[in-house]
Structure 1
Amino acid sequence: MANLMLLVAAAIWGLGFVAQRLGMDHLEPFAFNGLRFVIGALSLLPLIWVMQRKGRLKGVSDKDILRRVLIGSLACGGILFIAASFQQVGLLHTTAANAGFITGLYIVLVPVLGLLLKHSTGTNTWVGCAVAAVGLYFLSVGDDFSISYGDGLQLIGAIFWAMHILAVDHFTNRVAPVVLACGQFLVCALASFGVSLVLETTTVAGVQAAWAALAYSGLVSVGVAYTLQVLAQKHAHPAHAAIILSLETVFAAIGGMMFLGESLSGRALFGCGLMLLGMLISQLPLRYLVKSRHEKAA
């Protein structure tokens, strides 16, 4: 059941790239991000209320909770704003499939960036990075060794998504994860609205026309998928969870083909396959494989 919930979450997040593309038919990137993250934050309020009633929010009753929530929300929300901005603007110049696979590189970038924090990194991570890098070459780098503007933005965004995961990992030891999520979404929304007010023109008609994409991106991608992930990871092995969630890249490609009429060349498909393989290798330690074989033999 836990693996099924994770698979549904991955599908929701993957198809979210399609909603983000469609939403920008009516709204500009920062306005869309601001609205979807506000919706996402509001969608978590019922979950926070239920968890608070059941006493499941670690540290919520502490006297310094407001300070810790504020610091964590500002730090994580600030990085989230940068990552989401690169992703959303990049979607104007690349396909949902490319965006999904390149963004998914955060899975292998997290342990690499973790070296700066003195985290241990296994051999499988380096092998996975190498395979994913070759895949990125086939997917995005042209014959003249140039990378498209949109793919370049997604690649920069992937670095910030990795930084965001490390930041969340740091602050969830101090603040209840769901509270931190709600706080960072609000910070990201406010920052997005600030930029939008300066650079963009948003109309009520545009918001109304994009309501379906906003509802999916905010309510379903954040509220539903986040809840499924939280519930599932209580019962799923971390390695299994990471592998299943990485399938969001595949669903992004499927969604782009089904709903946006996108297509991938043979070269691009080969690159996507290598990137997915690299992600899987990086998330499945060799020692875990050995352990699993021993358990089956026993």
Structure 2
Amino acid sequence: MDGNCTNPRKFSYQTLACATNHFSEKDKLGEGATGSVFKGFLRELSCSVAVKRILFGSKYGMESYLPEVKVLTKLKHENLVNLVGWSCNMKELLIVYEFVANKTLEYHLFKETVFLTWGHRKTIAWGLASALLYLHEEREQSVLHCDIKLDNILLDSNFSPKLCDFGLARPVEHEQESGYPTVLTGAPGYLAPECKKSGKASKESDIYSFGVVVLQMACGKPAVEQFQENGTKFELKLVDWVLEKIEGGENVSAVADPRLGLSYDEKEMEQLIVVGLSCANPNPYDRPSIWEVINMLKC
């Protein structure tokens, strides 16, 4: 990314409207619960960007979204998406990020045009762990991401991950143990069990979500699979499926992504599955810290 894009700044609405062809549908990259994202080009900085457009409604106003900007202005890590700038008025908030061209981890696991090799998957796991280490432990205040999932992980041209979408993220003190009250959203299967009861996020709940992502990379399966039998709908969590297989005496080949064939190291696959299951332990007190995850990945 061009160095001119690395220092966050405030932009005029007109500048960002022009950069995105006035938020043209043909330039839309995606749409989520909080807004749409458009590709743009900032001529004055000579760089491509992704502009998240959030229209304020009667339920959520400016104060609901500004924390994302406040958090991102203080973050700088190679495995986090860079904030380029923002624009805000009483009707909407525009958040400008670096443009990451290689789409999301979800796309490459399930709709791939370029297959994710075992080497890619190890790189992604390591990069995500590095990003969480930075967020949780390497800053004056910890930052909880609160929404780690496949489609919030962008891949650059080298297939290195960049964690994005900090709309639910909140800074907390390192010693805070009780968790942070947050809005519970996101795709099924990533939310730690205790969050459903307490409505609070914590470092441990981020670790749980990370564990689910790691298992998805190892197994090539959705976080939750839905199926129907005799007219009844069922859900099967990936975490439960992997645990059942491993505890039943199956080896790693029974849960490994079949698309990998034999192009993975069995010991490394076993290691990644152990990391995933440890992080996705239903008991938050039995989950490893991010420091322990890093050490496990080094082995």
Instruction: Please give the TM-score of this superposition, normalised by the length of structure 1.
Output: 0.34
Higher strand share: 2
Higher helix share: 1
Higher relative contact order (CA 8 A, sep 6+): 1
